[in-house]
Amino acid sequence: MSHPAAKRIVGLYQDRADDWIRDRGAVLHHGDGGLDEAAWLDRFVDGLPPAASILDVGCGSGWPIGAALLERGFKVMGLDASPALIAHAQATLPTGVWATADMREPLPNLLFDGVLAWHSLFHLSPEEQQRVLPELARCVSDGGRLMFTSGPAHGETIGVWRGEPLYHASLDPEAYRALLTDAGLTIDGDGAKTGVWLARRAFLSAK
């Protein structure tokens, strides 16, 4: 059974949406005490066609990830379970498509050139991740890619944000590898070391 904080994630971001928007900021992180978001985003979009379609799952307010993708000319659909965060994205990034949706529910029956779950998948319990990750992979088109962040090992971690417990969880790296491989994706790099998993679906050979 997961920690009680796992059930509070959606409500926490909804109740503290304004605080999250301020704390997250509007600028990509450049390795200042964490992951270099700008570098990873460059790697994620490298080789994508102009105006490629990208699904940002757990997009929050749309800033800064969705905003950076839109600025590069990509077509972005963002999903988040917090109506307040989605409302902010709709108001400030009108060229994107933003919708309130819980990633634990079935995703759109669409294919995307890129599927992103940056700092969002790890808010689900290990059991939920095992169900959701194949759904994320299902949405990746031929030649497309999937990127998400994780912790280093199987287990749950409870942080603190603005005085409230903040739930994180991860699978074992071998479980991530198996789920991605079973979904027909080829892993690029070593997510176990970097904390970022990038996987690609090959183009189907022409007959």
For residue range 157-202, what is the model confidence (pLDDT) as tens digits?
999 999 999 999 999 999 999 999 999 999 999 999 999 999 999 9
For residue range 103-137, what is the model confidence (pLDDT) as tens digits?
999 999 999 999 999 999 999 999 999 999 999 99
Domain extent at residue 134: 4-26+35-200
Distance CA 84, CA 149 (A): 23
The overall pTM is greater than 0.85: yes
Domain-embedded: residue 110: yes
Domain-embedded: residue 93: yes
Q: What is the dihedral of CA 37, 41, 43, 46, to 10 degrees?
A: -160
Domain-embedded: residue 128: yes
Type of residue at 56:
D
Domain with residue 116: its CATH number is 3.40.50.150
Domain-embedded: residue 205: no
